[in-house]
């Protein structure tokens, strides 16, 4: 009885979704989830994934990701839930998570075209992001280092960072900066002219 009531809410949600009534559709799926008995894992997985689709349309990505995760908990091989979650992760620039979901999709369906494209497209984007983050981090560390070293008359320019090509590890070498000898100021030696 409760399951059939949940199915009615789901049908209403599907129709509302097709009509572009996403808020109403999300509400119908929520009512279906409240009504559907917990024992019906697959039904509930579909409802969570459907509600996630409405949240994706409403640009409520974090909440949509949560619904997809609940759907996957109930049905670990549910490709649609992985796909929607991957798309929302990518919208939030969570590229590592998106890539993991697209890889899972390929495990479930090796011929999934969008997942194939994404697993080739995302790694260079992740690498570029990581390089940018590394550069930003090194710049911040350099600023902090200069702040600490300044009272001692030093700066990070006194230290040379060398990467070992074999191990990838770094070593730091100290270099004393050569101070330029001060040139005598010719105006200092001149006597003022009487007026």
Domain boundaries, the chain: 2-164
Segments in 75-186 forming alpha helices (H): 79-91, 95-108, 113-149
Q: Which of 48, 115, 94, 52 is nearest to 75 (CA)?
A: 48
**For tokens 């981090």, what's the residue?**
137
Class of the domain covering 2-164: mainly alpha
The average pLDDT across 135-162 equals 82
pLDDT at 56 over 70: yes
pLDDT at 175 over 80: no
pLDDT at 179 over 60: no
Residue 145 Cα distances to 75, 86, 150, 152, angstroms: 51, 39, 8, 11
Q: 115-137, pLDDT tens digit by residue?
A: 999 999 999 999 999 999 988 88
Q: 95-120, pLDDT tens digit by residue?
A: 999 999 999 999 999 999 999 999 99
Q: What b/e string do you get for 50-69 counting C-beta neighbours within 10 Å, with b at 16 or more?
A: bbbbbbbeeebbeebbbbbe
């Amino acid at each position: 009885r409760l399951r059939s009531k949940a199915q009615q809410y789901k049908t209403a949600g599907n129709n509302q979704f097709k009509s572009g009534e996403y808020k109403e559709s999300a509400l119908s799926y929520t009512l279906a989830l409240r009504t559907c008995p917990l024992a019906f894992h697959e039904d509930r997985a579909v409802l969570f994934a459907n509600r996630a689709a409405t949240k994706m349309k409403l640009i409520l990505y974090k909440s949509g990701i949560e619904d997809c995760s609940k759907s996957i908990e109930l049905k670990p091989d549910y490709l649609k839930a992985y796909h929607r979650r991957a798309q929302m992760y990518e919208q939030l620039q969570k590229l590592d998570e998106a890539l993991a979901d697209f890889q899972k999709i390929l495990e479930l369906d090796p011929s999934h075209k969008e997942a194939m494209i994404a697993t080739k497209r995302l790694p260079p984007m992740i690498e570029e992001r990581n390089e940018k983050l590394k550069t930003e981090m090194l710049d911040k560390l350099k600023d902090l280092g200069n702040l600490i070293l300044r009272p001692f008359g030093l700066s990070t320019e006194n230290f040379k960072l060398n990467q070992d090509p074999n191990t990838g590890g770094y070593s730091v070498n100290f270099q004393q900066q050569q101070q330029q000898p001060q040139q005598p100021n010719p105006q200092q030696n001149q006597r003022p002219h009487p007026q």
